[in-house]
DNA sequence: TTGTATGCGTTATCAA
DNA sequence: TTGATAACGCATACAA
């Protein structure tokens, strides 16, 4: 015996194919009693829906839009690549993706982009951006038109998104704090904290988590005020020098990007390998630093997972189908020299 | 425009549907010239085959078998649960799974089971077992009958499997070693290594990796000979006591299962939280110990990922389709108190 | 060597 | 509120 089909259900329930379909897809216009009869038959026969056939018959394809900030962040670039790869895979399931890079800092341009998407018959939108009132409104606008929106990497807690795909930044910061506390040993020590900017919610949350753990579990450690570099390597070097003049440093926590600049600055000061360095996200540079023993731990999220999860969740939302929480749960990964995953094969470069 | 179909190819090439199908599936009975014309059309239109529709038309379904050792290992039980859950998902894609638990230690029973599967029209087999000559032969037998076989959790390097789904045990051991070295600080210290048995390849490999890193990067640390408990909690307590009498212990590395017994023994000796404990796999017990601060790091592989990956790879092998290496690559996860993922919802218990 | 017609399991558009 | 019936993209038995 092969698996029961909708035809079997129809026969068993004494109704037509169309009615079974209506019940299956929770479409209106069926009497309560009929619904019950169909559901009974489904349960009796142990029917399992064939997704492949369903998708085929729908011959509907889903156009998803993914919005990522432009700029030269290695992490975002890696994510963009992963998105393209996931999209290629998803094309098999009638899901296509349109990747859009928007000028960072320009919230209004982003909002305009989002508003524009609403008219293009888009089935879902994923957006990675800091939360602003303008963005919140744009998201609400989309959702009012029944277009699902998911937040990517950075949560938008007050925008009313359908889902958040990423990790809890505060917990990520706590993890960094725990590692820093354990890696720097037992004596008293000062920990430098470096960031390009503290305007981003992620950086703030990470710092908060980091401090929490250090304060509670490693009272002998002292996390210094954040050194903001604003992307200027000289600022970083100068700042570090100043911190050093006030006493020895046991570790450096890099809140965001800037691995290259940090490695350079530490190298100049002859500190490479002498202080514990912990950072976020696995990029070409952090990977190299990890391999070279200049970086001791990376807190990361898997971009491939992030990308596939995004497309799957958007698809589920578009279908109003439930989400497999277990599968979509992103992990806060800890990457050390010894568990560094092999370099992924270089995909075709994203044109933006 | 939507994607080109076989019909479009047929029209473009000026042949019929059936001919296109013949070319597509490399079936005989087509003139060289016609083949060329069809392939030309395919290239011109950028045709991508819809595998889902193809399988639907074939009305093909896949019966996979997954063989797991029986017994009360928490990890295996968790994996079994994850398998059941993944199977439920996969049923939607015409893939069904038959989970078989075999008596551990009994290689011949396992081999007989495998041989039996060959006759049942199974589309693929996944097996978690230590490598033995008998098992190797059984695997070869299956593969001779064109049934793909994948090794699960523990590799079978000489059995000629189609794929290995799991992590490199030696690298996992190295990771444990690195963490142990860093967590136990700078001074000289002795590290106890505990295992239920050193007969399993995994345990040996982990120990090897652990020693490598400790020797190379932490010369002040001394990894003591493995304390084999053979599942007897008393043996563990006695052994630990003996090690203690010879001097202070800085850390304990638990090579395999036995979290509960270890926690109990350490508790009795008043060592809980005073020595660094590192173990493998996230189970109910290790999770609790991690939360309580009695266990400091767990090296784990994600059972959900393992399960889904297994079914996906088996399916791909059955279709002779390529595998998305990036997606199937299992990570050596490091779990600390701060990045412990939320407890998954309890699935229905596996009956075995 | 090639073409026609039908079916796979589901959805969707009609009409009743 | 229900039911025929025609797609969806591909495979295949059978006819030419």
Note the pLDDT tens digit of each residue in A19-34: 999 999 888 888 999 9
B87 and B108 both lie in a single domain = yes
Closest-CA residue of A relative to B63 is: A2
Residue A256, pLDDT > 80, answer yes
Q: Closest nt to B61 (CA→C1')? A: C8
Residue B7 touches partner A, C-beta closer than 8 Å: no
What's this model's pTM, rounded to 2 decimal places?
0.92
Residue A68, pLDDT > 70, answer yes
pLDDT tens for each residue of A4-15: 999 999 999 999
- Statement: the CB of B38 is under 7 Å from strand D: no
Please work out, in degrees rounded to the nearest 5, the angle formed at the alpha carbon of residue B66 by the alpha carbons of B77 and B259. 20
Residue B109 touches partner A, C-beta closer than 8 Å: no
- Statement: the CB of B49 is under 7 Å from strand D: yes
Which of B 127-146 lie inside 8 A of A, CB atoms? none
The pLDDT value given to residue A105: 85
* CB-closest option in B52, B93, B337 to A56: B52
User: Looking at residues A169-178, what average pLDDT do you find?
Assistant: 98
Residue B56 belongs to a domain: no
Residue B90 belongs to a domain: yes
A43 and A121 both lie in a single domain = no
Which of A 52-71 lie inside 8 A of B, CB atoms? 52-53, 55-56, 59, 61
Say if residues B275 and B69 touch (Cβ distance below 8 Å): no
Straight-line distance from CA B90 to C1' D15, in Å?
39
B311 and B274 both lie in a single domain = no
A266 and A320 both lie in a single domain = no
B184 and B265 both lie in a single domain = yes
Residue B150, pLDDT > 60, answer yes
A226 and A292 both lie in a single domain = yes
pLDDT tens for each residue of A197-243: 877 888 999 999 999 999 999 999 999 999 998 878 888 889 988 88
The pLDDT value given to residue A237: 87
The pLDDT value given to residue B346: 55
3-state secondary structure of A9: helix
Give the CATH number of the domain where residue B36 resides: 1.10.260.40
A215 and A175 both lie in a single domain = yes
B162 and B246 both lie in a single domain = no
- Picking from A206, A210, A176, A194, the residue whose alpha carbon sits closest to that of residue A262 is A194
Closest-CA residue of B relative to A89 is: B324
For residue B280, what are the domain limits? Answer: 169-300
Separation between Cα atoms, residue A319 and residue A109, nearest integer Å: 29
- Statement: the CB of A54 is under 7 Å from strand C: yes
Min Cα distance B331 → chain A (Å) is 7
A284 and A187 both lie in a single domain = yes
The nucleotides of chain D lying under 7 Å from a protein CB are 1-14
Which of A 288-317 lie inside 8 A of B, CB atoms? 296, 299, 302, 304, 308
Straight-line distance from CA A61 to C1' D6, in Å?
20
The tokens describing B1, both together, are: 């425009």
Say if residues B29 and B22 touch (Cβ distance below 8 Å): yes
The answer to whether the CB atoms of B342 and A333 lie below 8 A apart is: no
Phi/psi class of residue A94: alpha, beta or left (left: φ > 0; alpha: ψ in -120 to 50)?
Answer: left
The tokens describing B6, both together, are: 């076989």
The nucleotides of chain C lying under 7 Å from a protein CB are 1-14
DSSP state letter for A350: P
The answer to whether the CB atoms of B327 and A339 lie below 8 A apart is: no
The answer to whether the CB atoms of B338 and A175 lie below 8 A apart is: yes
Q: For residue B350, name the pLDDT band (cuts at 50, 70, 90).
A: very low
- Statement: the CB of B31 is under 7 Å from strand C: yes
Residue B287 touches partner A, C-beta closer than 8 Å: no
The answer to whether the CB atoms of B326 and A304 lie below 8 A apart is: yes
Which residues of B are less than 8 Å from A345 in CB distance?
325-326
Residue A84 belongs to a domain: yes
Other Cβ atoms closer than 10 A to B88: 15
Residue A257, pLDDT > 90, answer no
Residue B116 touches partner A, C-beta closer than 8 Å: no
B240 and B183 both lie in a single domain = yes
Which residues of A are less than 8 Å from B214 in CB distance?
none
The pLDDT value given to residue B185: 83
Residue A201 belongs to a domain: yes
Say if residues A165 and A128 touch (Cβ distance below 8 Å): no
Residue B347 belongs to a domain: no
Give the CATH number of the domain where residue B176 resides: 3.40.50.2300
Residue A141 CB burial class (10 angstroms; 0-12, 13-18, ≥19): middle
The protein residue nearest C3 (Cα–C1') is B16
Which of B 326-345 lie inside 8 A of A, CB atoms? 326-327, 329, 331-334, 336-339, 341-342, 344-345
Which residues of B are less than 8 Å from A88 in CB distance?
none
Residue B155, pLDDT > 90, answer yes
A91 and A138 both lie in a single domain = yes
The pLDDT value given to residue A349: 41
Side-chain half-sphere CA neighbours of A232 within 13 A: 8
Instruction: List beta partners, residue B69.
Output: B102
pLDDT tens for each residue of B165-213: 999 999 999 999 999 999 998 767 899 999 988 778 889 999 999 999 9
Which residues of B are less than 8 Å from A172 in CB distance?
339
The pLDDT value given to residue B7: 92
Reduce the secondary structure of chain B to three states and give it as a string: CCCCCHHHHHHHHCCCHHHHHHHHCCCCCCCHHHHHHHHHHHHHHCCCCCHHHHHHHHCCCEEEEEEEECCCCHHHHHHHHHHHHHHHHHHCCCEEEEEEEECCCCHHHHHHHHHHHHCCCCCEEEECCCCCHHHHHHHHHHHHCCCCEEEECCCCCCCCCCEEECCCHHHHHHHHHHHHHHHCCCCCEEEEEEECCCCCHHHHHHHHHHHHHHHHHCCCEEEEEEEECCCCHHHHHHHHHHHHHCCCEEEEEECCCCHHHHHHHHHHCCCCCCCEEEEECCCHHHHHHHHHCCCCEEEECCHHHHHHHHHHHHHHHHHCCCCCHHHHCCCCEEECHHHCCCCCCCCCCCCC
User: For residue B125, what are the contacts with CB-CB under 8 A and spacing of at least 6?
Assistant: B64, B65, B66, B67, B114, B117, B142, B147, B148, B149, B150, B314
- Picking from B71, B78, B193, B192, the residue whose alpha carbon sits closest to that of residue B130 is B71
Residue A346 touches partner B, C-beta closer than 8 Å: no
Straight-line distance from CA A121 to C1' D9, in Å?
24
Chain A span 35-64 residues with beta carbon within 7 Å of strand D: 53, 56-57, 59
- Picking from A264, A246, A268, the residue whose alpha carbon sits closest to that of residue A192 is A246
Residue A338 belongs to a domain: no
Which of B 150-189 lie inside 8 A of A, CB atoms? 171-172, 174-175, 177-179, 182-183, 185-186
A241 and A223 both lie in a single domain = yes
Q: How many domains does chain B have?
A: 3
Which residues of B are less than 8 Å from A342 in CB distance?
329
The pLDDT value given to residue A1: 55
Residue B329 CB burial class (10 angstroms; 0-12, 13-18, ≥19): middle
User: For residue A123, what are the contacts with CB-CB under 8 A and spacing of at least 6?
Assistant: A62, A63, A64, A147, A148, A314, A318
Closest-CA residue of B relative to A1 is: B61
DSSP state letter for A104: T
Residue A339 belongs to a domain: no
Residue B289, pLDDT > 90, answer yes
Residue B343 belongs to a domain: no
* CB-closest option in B304, B332, B338 to A178: B338
The answer to whether the CB atoms of A338 and B213 lie below 8 A apart is: yes
Residue A8 CB burial class (10 angstroms; 0-12, 13-18, ≥19): middle
Separation between Cα atoms, residue A292 and residue A302, nearest integer Å: 21
- Statement: the CB of A91 is under 7 Å from strand D: no
Question: Scanning the structure block, which residue is given the tokens 């064939």?
Answer: A50
Which residues of B are less than 8 Å from A52 in CB distance?
52-53, 55-56, 93-94
Higher-scoring residue by pLDDT: A127, B235: A127
Residue A346, pLDDT > 60, answer no
């Amino acid at each position: 015996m092969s698996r029961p089909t909708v035809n079997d259900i129809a026969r068993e329930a004494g109704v037509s194919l169309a009615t079974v379909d209506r019940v299956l897809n929770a479409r209106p216009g069926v009497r309560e009693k009929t619904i019950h009869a169909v559901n009974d038959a489904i349960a009796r026969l142990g029917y399992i829906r064939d997704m492949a056939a369903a998708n085929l018959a729908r011959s509907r394809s889903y156009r998803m839009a993914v919005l990522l900030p432009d700029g030269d962040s290695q992490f975002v670039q890696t994510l963009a690549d992963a998105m393209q790869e996931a999209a290629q895979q998803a094309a098999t399931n009638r899901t296509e993706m349109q990747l859009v890079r928007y000028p960072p800092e320009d919230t209004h341009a982003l909002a305009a982009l989002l508003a524009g998407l609403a008219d293009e018959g888009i089935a879902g939108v994923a957006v990675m951006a800091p939360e602003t009132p303008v963005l919140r409104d744009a998201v609400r606008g989309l959702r009012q038109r029944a277009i699902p929106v998911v937040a990517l990497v950075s949560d938008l807690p007050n925008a009313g998104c359908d889902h958040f795909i990423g990790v809890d930044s505060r917990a990520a910061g706590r993890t960094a704090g725990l590692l820093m506390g354990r890696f720097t040993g037992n004596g008293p020590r000062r920990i430098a904290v470096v960031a390009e900017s503290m305007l981003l919610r992620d950086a703030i949350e990470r710092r908060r988590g980091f401090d929490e753990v250090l304060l509670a579990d490693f009272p002998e450690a002292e996390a210094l005020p954040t050194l903001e570099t604003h992307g200027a390597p000289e600022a970083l070097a100068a700042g570090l020098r100043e911190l050093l003049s006030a006493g020895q440093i046991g570790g450096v926590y890099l809140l965001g990007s800037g691995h290259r600049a940090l490695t350079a600055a530490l190298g100049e000061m002859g500190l490479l390998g002498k202080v514990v360095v912990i950072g976020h996200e696995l990029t070409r540079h952090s990977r190299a630093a990890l391999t070279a023993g200049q970086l001791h731990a990376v807190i990361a999220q898997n971009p491939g997972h992030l990308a596939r999860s995004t497309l799957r969740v958007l698809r589920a939302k578009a279908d109003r189908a439930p989400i497999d929480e277990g599968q979509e749960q992103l992990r806060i990964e800890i990457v050390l020299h010894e568990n560094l995953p092999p370099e992924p094969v270089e995909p075709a470069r994203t044109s933006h």
